[in-house]
Structure 1
Amino acid sequence: VFTNSRTLPCPPRHLLVLTSPSGAAIRDVLAVLKARWPLARVTLIGVPVQGREAASALIAALGLLNRQSTLDPERDAVLITRGGGSLEDLWAFNDEHLARAIFHSRLPVMSAVGHEIDTTLADLAADMRAPTPSAAAEMLVPDSHELAQRLVGLERRLSRGIQVRLDGESQHLDHLRSRLRHPGEALGRQRHLLRELEVRLCRAAQARLTNERQLLQHRQQRLGACHPRRELVHAAERLDRARQRLQHTMPRTLANQRERLAGLARQLHAISPLAVLGRGYAILENEAGQVIQRAPDVEPGQALTARLGEGHLDLKVIRVIKPSSTQGAS
């Protein structure tokens, strides 16, 4: 019950306050919200905060809020608060049912009950605790004046950054302008380079063509000296001999492999659990598919499955007879 730690939205889109409409707590909360975040949308749900009816009223109001589909746990929040008082005045916030309702709340809950020294079960079950109602309002919303100052500072930093960037780009532009040359000069250099590359390409192509011709003549001479007809005759002879050896050894090899495969099949069948089942035995399994090996592993009324040699049976345990006693458990 005391493990909630969700982060409350800051500021919440809609703040729902559960407290007494006439108490000092709501006045403190509204005063702080007005000073720090005037845009806050606050809804007061008036409930008694002490007495016998306080806990049930808080639980009912919290349940009503959690049933509102328009409220979003990511953007809305609930504040349960009241001012200080004696232990008897705060006792409604020590109600177990209220603590469980806060723990199971769909909306995040902040609790601010009493003063800083007061701690209730509602504080422990809430997602966040504040020492006082005023402190809760300060924790729920940012300070608009501080945000305005931060925005002014960021605006100044942005202006300085833009000016620095503009100055840098201006200097870079001036540098590029100084390096800029007439395109005719670049075209002239490229034209000269193109002529040189053309001459080099013609020379390289001529040399490559000469080398290929010489290589072709050399290979033609080798091919004439080593005609493939002789190699084809020898290859045909080797192929015939290999075919004869294959025809001679293949039947024997196939027979040996068949005998070996039959022996392996007999061995596999001998150790197979299905062969044991075929001799009249059965395997009991629970609903999770685990094999039952001992009677104490099951309870009366538990459903089991018996695997047979052919098919299976759905069983239900009527009685468990343990090995140490003759009387079954019922």
Structure 2
Amino acid sequence: MDWNEEHVYTVSDITFYIESLFEGDPNLTDVTVAGEVIDCRTRNNHLFFSLKDDYASIGCVMFGGAHMQSQLESGQMVQVVGDVRVYAPRGQYRLLCKKLKLLSGRGAMFLKLKETYEKLNRMGVFSRPKKKLPKFPSLIGVITSRDSAAFQDIMRTISERFPFAKLILYHTGVQGESAKEEILRALSDANLHELDVVIIARGGGAKEDLWLFNDEDVVMSVYELRHPVITGVGHQIDTVLVDLVADVAAHTPTAAAQYAVPDIRDVMSNLRQSLEFCFANVLRTWNGVEEHCKELLLKMKSGVFDSLEDFRKLSQQRLEEMKSAVDEKIDSLNRRMELLGAKLNLLDPISELKRGYAVVEKDGVRVTSKSQLSKKDVIVIRFHDGSARVIVDEDRGSDERAGEDR
């Protein structure tokens, strides 16, 4: 259709154009649709009803299908094959059904499961990052029935693997009309307590028995738990929606308990290996340090010996320098002593005596003048090799003067 803003179209023009789009779309031909039946009625031997899910509904018609009225009721789940077409008189689209099949309870459950999964998936419930499980939990919450084999398996497994952990049971029914309210209450109670991890468990059973764990409200309550969650619902081949929001999904209750706690035997073995590894590292480090110390000691010894030898050589050099300086000083002193000796010799009276001079003393007093002597005085004449006592016999002063006159 060539659209023109100046052209005014009729309702039929628009409707027939939309009808051509529906008829030309292969995705709207021979489509299979499943849903819940509502507003089922017959008119002119034709069967009219609607199919709905949580978000939408579509009108359906099955021409000549009035004979199915007795089989089809509102609330039933059906699967139909047909073409989506436009009903021009009312401007509505509807599904012209060619085939119709009643779904069993299992089929209806599967359809509901698919709808719930798609809804929660669009909300991002299944894509949230997983919480990390604690390595050594001390307080574990268990949501299950107190009378169930699942609880017995969990208690036995944890007691054998890690008896230090304490269990808190949040009793709940796991099937029946009241099970949903009980498990929602148990989940709410567990969320109030300071737990290290929560185990949600149920033993195996038929698909219908596990359906509680696909319920949207239950899944959201598990999603909103602030603790790490481990699920152990059913057997190995069973998968429920709570598994997808759990942080760890185990195949059985026993496996859930194994995920929750470490095996004390493995812990002790790992501890022993760690200690052995640490001891080996310490021993290796000690040996390395010992070798390094030996090398340092040898270097220190070599350094000390070198230093001592250098010190010895330096000391010898200094001693020789000091000896030389002392010798020079002694030589200088000797020369000075000789000079002083020579000077002293000049002043030494003995040397004068050796040359023939004598010293005259009277009464211990040196006589320096003849006038100090009188006849009969006893005087001592000292020579260089001794002394002599003499008596003044005469005065020779007149003789000496007479000699001088001659």
Measured at CA, do residues 171 and 83 of structure 1 come closer, stay the same or move farther in structure 2, by a change above 3 Å?
A: same
Would you say the 8 A contact 2:138–2:164 is kept in 1?
no
Counterpart residue type for residue 174 of structure 1: K
Q: Does 1:151 align with 2:275?
A: no
> How far apart are 1:184 and its partner, in Å?
4.8
Q: How does 1:132-171 map to 2 (within 5 A)?
A: 132-171=252-291
Unmatched tracts of structure 2, length 5 or more: 1-124, 316-406
Structure 2 CA distance for partners of 1:187 and 1:13, relative to 1, 3 Å: farther
Pair 187,120 (structure 1): closer, same or farther in 2 beyond 3 Å: same
Q: Secondary structure at the match of 2:222?
A: helix
CA-CA distance at 1:61 after TM superposition: 1.4
Q: Between Structure 1 and Structure 2, how many residues are aligned?
A: 187
Matches of 2:255 and 2:226, distance apart in 1: 23
Where does residue 182 of structure 2 map in the other structure?
57
Higher normalized contact order (CA 8 Å, seq sep 6+, divided by chain length): 1
Task: Please tell me whether residue 3 in structure 1 is matched to residue 127 in structure 2.
Answer: yes
SS in 2 for 1:45: strand
Q: Which amino acid aligns with 2:169?
A: L
CA distance in 2, matches of 1:19, 1:190: 92
| Distance change (3 Å), C-alpha of 1:187 and 1:7 | same
- Equivalent position amino acid for 1:123 in 2: D
SS state at 1:11 partner: coil
CA distance in 2, matches of 1:189, 1:148: 65
Compute the displacement of 1:12 (Å).
Answer: 2.5
Identical aligned pairs, as a percentage?
A: 35
Two-structure CA RMSD over aligned residues (Å): 2.4
CA distance in 2, matches of 1:134, 1:172: 55
**What is the match of residue 146 of structure 2?**
21
Deviations 1:253-277 (A, max 9, x none): xxxxxxxxxxxxxxxxxxxxxxxxx
| Partner Cα distance (1:159, 1:60) in 2 | 52
Q: Residue 103 of structure 1 corresponds to which residue in structure 2?
A: 223
Superposition TM-score, scaled by structure 1 size: 0.52
- 3-state DSSP class of the match of 2:185? helix
Q: State the TM-score, normalizing by the size of structure 2.
A: 0.43
- Over 3 Å counting, the alpha-carbon distance change for 1:171 and 1:135 in structure 2 is same
Residue 114 of structure 1 pairs with residue 234 of structure 2:
yes
Alignment partner of 1:85 out of 205, 208, 214: 205
Name the one with the larger helix percent: 1
Alpha carbons of 1:63 and 1:187: their partners in 2 closer, same or farther (altered >3 Å)? farther
Matched, 1:173 2:311: no
Distance 1:186 1:55 in 2: 95
1:46 aligns with 2:171: yes
Higher strand share: 2
DSSP-derived class of the 2:207 partner: coil
Distance 2:281 2:289 in 1: 12
Unaligned runs of 5+ in 1: 192-330
What CA deviation, in whole Å up to 9, does each residue of 1:179-204 have, x standing for no partner?
2215555667999xxxxxxxxxxxxx
Q: Structure 1 residues 113, 186: closer, same or farther in 2, change over 3 A? A: farther
CA distance in 1 between counterparts of 2:277 and 2:252 reads: 38
Contact 1:59/1:98 (<8 A) preserved: yes
| Cα distance in 2 for residues equivalent to 1:66 and 1:58 | 12
